[in-house]
Every structure is written in structure tokens, then in C-alpha cells.
A and B are shown apart, each in its own frame.
Chain A
Amino acid sequence: MLDDIFSVVRQRWGTSSPEQKDGKKPDIPKDLLFKCPRCGSVSFSEDFDKNGKVCPNCNYHSRLSARERLDITIDKDSLEEFDKDMLSKNPIGFPDYEAKQQALRAKTGLKDAVITGKAKIRGKDIVIIVMDSHFLMASMGSVVGEKITRAFEYATENKLPVIAFTASGGARMQEGIVSLMQMAKTSGAVARHNEAGLLYITVMTDPTTGGVTASFASLGDIIIAEPKVLIGFAGRRVIEGTIRQKLPDEFQSAEFMLENGFVDMIVERKKMRRTLAHLLALHEKGGLQNE
């Protein structure tokens, strides 16, 4: 497989032979290739990108930035972003947390790990929440918790459905107990949206784990997942440590969650917008009590 890649690299970019004189493997620029974390196969970034960042070999739906996700999901230029300048403080005085956040802001162009706002999908108004794993693995601190809570509160007040694309490594350790409390805060806002009889769709993307799985991500009326993504509560290594054996690859995958009854459907990225529009339409008229 790698040899194939190298020969194509030579053809396309005219670089030297992979077998260098010192016998080391050649350095192909990392951003030229995508190595799938699920099946291990390597493909050209160019082809991988063209395929919507989906592994051409195993159909693993890899991580998108929040902006990329919005681009393929909502109507063009329909986003009215909420709270775009919100920044986290350092609630437990954790060493170097401010510096770490600043460095990540410069690197990712994000203020924190979630974008929220009002948007449209095929003309239908929604509140959208998109987490971005490129910022501290989209761990849930004060900003993530507050923005998601406000998004639900806005949706409740304005009688709008919520669509949340979840991705998270879980709690934000650097914010200690304040991070844990965001699980309660966001779930409280979901509860009020739910009591108002409004639709909430969760789309679980890679990875949806920890405190986000144990709060708002698992509370959707409808829960969708992208193929092959990681979904779970406890970390795989923690469980392997407890049971002292390796877990099968499919453990905590979208397919595992579907089989165990915690996901309604697995939807491919290229069909996601269509599927969401369809589900929104199905909830526009509410049955017998409506005229």
C-alpha cells in the first residue's frame, strides 16, 4: 500500500525515490497524506478531501472543523452566530491554562470549542450547535457549557428546533468541577426545550465521549451518528485497564451504539443535510391537534 502511494507521489510531484541513500523512509509532507485511524489505510489528502474527509477504504467519517461542518450543512450565508467573542476564564486557577488557550486560539482561529447560532436548512429555521475537536478536543468548559445552554434557551424562547453536532473528549480538566457542572447546566436547558415540545436532533460525530455523552449529546429526540465514529462514556484505555484485555475495534463505534440501542440511525455525511431537512419537515405539522 505505501509503495503504491510512493510511486504516485513520484508521478504527481516528481519527488525522488522513496528508498533514500541512508535507508530511511522518505519524508512525505504529512499534510499530503491521510492515514485512517480506523483501518490504517493511507490515502492522498487531495482524494480524501474530495471524498468529504471520509476514508475511501473503510468509510470512517473523520473529523471536520466546525466551519467545514457548517459549510456542508446549512444554507449558504444563513448563520447568525451567537456569542462569538465569549472566552473562558480560569475558574480553578489552573497553571498555564490562559497561555494554552491563547496558543490554541492562534492556531485554530477558534475562540473555544463550539460554534452556535441561528441558521437555516433548506429554508427551515433552526438553532445549530457545532463542536470542534481541534480546540482542546472539544472538552466542555465554561464557554462550551454557556454557549450551548444559551442556544437551547434561545430555541425554547423562539420555538425553534435544535440540531447539535457533538464531538468531545469529555470534561475540560483544566476547569475542574466547573466543567462537571456544565453537564447539569446544558441538560437543564435541554429539559426546558423538551418540556416546550420542541425537536432536538443530535448528530454524534468523531469522537463523542465522556461528559458530553453523559449529558446533552444523549438527550436528543432523535440521535444520528456518522459511520465508524467513536461514541462512548468511559475511555477505551480505562476499560482495557479494568478488564486487562484488548477490546475489539468495533467497541464504542457508531455501529456498536446502534446495535445496543443508543443511536437511531447511522447517516453518511453526503446524505446528512438531506436527512436533517427531511426530519425537520416531518416535525412541522404536529398531528391531530393541528388544523
Chain B
Amino acid sequence: MSDIPASQKLDIIRMKGRPTVNDYIPLIFDDFFEMHGDRLYGDDGAVKGGIAYFKGTPVTVIAQVKGRNLDENKASNFGMPHPEGYRKALRLAKQAEKFHRPVICLIDTAGAFCGVEAEQRGQGEAIAKDIMEFMTLKTPIISIILGEGGSGGALALGVCDELAMLENAIYSVISPRGFASLLWKDASREREAADIMKITADDLMALKVCDSIIPEPTGGAHNDPESTAKAISEYIFSALQRKFQKGLDELLNERYNKFRAIGEFTE
């Protein structure tokens, strides 16, 4: 698809005007009805969830919110969820299962928030529970990485039947910055890290982590949010068509095997 190196994609996805879920939700879905809270602790602005129509079909939308300005970022903690965000996601996913609605996850996070309260409220447990429950959730799950897919904080919404990435999105085990500081003790070597980590949509197609790439307009999604939203809609439509044809056992077995097959070893 594109030969842009990962380090340059970092620039594109960090561009100020890059569309966020706040732009995409009204362009892709109709009558979005937002719901709040995990029913356990509170409401996390980093995870937005609700019900909407997608081309006439009710779906559950769960999305990580990167802000478009300082106010939005304050409300959404720059898209880095706390445990209550992951628990809200799980509540809405179980609700979707009950009412046989497909789940559409929109991923855009540098990672789960790293802080004292996040640890006290069990960040690890919250993510683990999402991963386990999504693995056996009895309704189709489609996940799309819009910009940054950072670590376990992204994977919590990334256990799905099909994963798509926008053309310039990245998905990584740790942020390139974190990688550089961990392995080389030098966070400033972030771009170099990005280029060896295999984090672009093409890399992840080759590693069978990503199933589809959604094209962006030349230069990046910010140049034409409407056409990007249209491309996302087309992808969701075709992915749902594929999933609706399957029986539940087939769907769940394929989901299990999608992840089961990843890993490279000899014996």
C-alpha cells in the first residue's frame, strides 16, 4: 500500500487536525445514544460508549477518545483509560451480547493510563477481564485502529473477529518512546525504535494481526475526514456482512483461532 516508514506515520497520526472518534461517530453512525459509567466506580471520559444505528442496524459503539483540543483532552485524559473505562467497555459489550447487537470498537490510545489510582483500582485486572470476556462474547466484534494502538490498553478493545487499521495507524506492544527508553535507555531514539518495531498496518498484515487496511486520503485522514469516514463505513459494512453469515460456534471458534495462531516457535 504505502511505503511511508513508521517514523513518518507517527507524525501523521499526531497531526493536530487528525480526526478523532468525536468526528467519526456522527459521520459513521446515526442517532448515537451515549451511555455512561461502569456501575462500579465512575465514568471514564477516555472511553465513549453507546448504541447507534449503522445503516439501519443497531450496534454498540465503544471508542477511545483522543481530544481535539485541551478541553476535550482534559475530559478524556488524552485518550488513556483508567480501569473504570475498561469496565465500562465490558458492561456495554455484555449489554450488546444480551440484545444481540454487534460491537464496533474504535481504538485510539497511547496506552492504558499509568498512575497510582489506576493501580489501586486494578488496571491489570480490568484489562485482563476485557480480553477474556471479549474472547467468548456471543456477538460479532469488529475493531478498528484509528491512530495509535498502544499496548494492552489497546488490546483490551482489540479482541475481535476482524481487526482493521487505518492506513497510517500503528499498533505496538509499547509506544516507540517507551521501547527506546526501555531497551536503549534513551527515549529520544523514538523514531529509530518505530522503524524497527514492525508497527505499521502493512507490517501487521504480514504478521496476521491485522485483517484489513482502510485507505486514507493522500497525506492522511486530516485532509478529508468525510471520505475517511466513508471508507471506514464501507469496511464496517463488509465486515458485518461476513460475520452475519456465520453461526455462533463458527464465529467464536474463528475468533479463538485468529489469536491462537499467532506466535513463532520451533519444537
Q: Which residues of A contact B (CB under 8 A)?
A: 83, 85-95, 141-143, 145-146, 149, 171, 173, 175-185, 187-188, 190-192, 194-195, 210-211, 213-219, 232-235, 238-239, 242-243, 247, 251-252, 256, 260-262
Q: Is B127 an interface residue (CB 8 A)?
A: yes
CB < 8 Å neighbour of A173 from B124, B173, B203: B173
Contacts of B155 in A (CB 8 A): 180-181, 183-184
Most buried by B among A87, A188, A192, A214: A214
- Cβ-neighbour of A218 out of B112, B125, B159 (below 8 A): B125
A173-B131 contact, Cβ under 8 Å, with A146-B263, A149-B260: no
Cβ B152 vs Cβ A142 within 8 A: no
B168 at the binding interface (Cβ < 8 Å): no
Interface residues of B in 18-64 (CB under 8 A from A): none
Complex CA gap A238/B114 in Å reads 7
Counting contact residues on chain B (CB < 8 A from A), the size range is: 35 or more
A181, A235, A252: which contacts B209 (Cβ < 8 A)? Answer: A181
**Which residues of B lie under 8 Å from residue A234 when comparing CB positions?**
112, 114-115, 118-119, 123
* Alpha-carbon distance between A190 and B178 when the two chains are bound, in angstroms: 29
Q: In the assembly, what is the distance between CA of A176 and CA of B259, in Å? A: 15
A140 to chain B, nearest CB (A): 10
Main secondary structure of the interface of A (DSSP, over half): helix
Residue on B nearest A190 in the bound complex, by CB: B132
Q: Are B125 and A262 in contact (CB under 8 A)?
A: yes
- 1/0 contact string of B160-191 vs chain A (CB within 8 Å): 00000000000111100011001100000000
A83 to B266, CA, bound (A): 10
Contacts of A187 in B (CB 8 A): 128, 131-132, 135, 159
B75 close to chain A: CB less than 8 A: no
Q: Which residues of B contact A238 (CB under 8 A)?
A: 114, 178
Query: Do residues B171 and A177 form an inter-chain contact, with CB atoms below 8 A?
Result: yes
B120, B260, B264: the one contacting A88 at CB < 8 Å is: B264
Instruction: Check B114 against A86 for contact (C-beta < 8 Å).
Output: no
Q: Are A214 and B173 in contact (CB under 8 A)?
A: no
B74 within 8 A of A: no
Known contacts A177-B207, A177-B209; decide if A88 and B114 are in contact (CB<8 Å). no
Known: A177-B198, A234-B123. A188 touches B260 (CB 8 A): yes
Q: How far is the CA of A192 from the CA of B249 in the complex (A)?
A: 13
B227 at interface (Cβ–Cβ under 8 A)?
no
- Residues in B with CB closer than 8 Å to A194 are 132
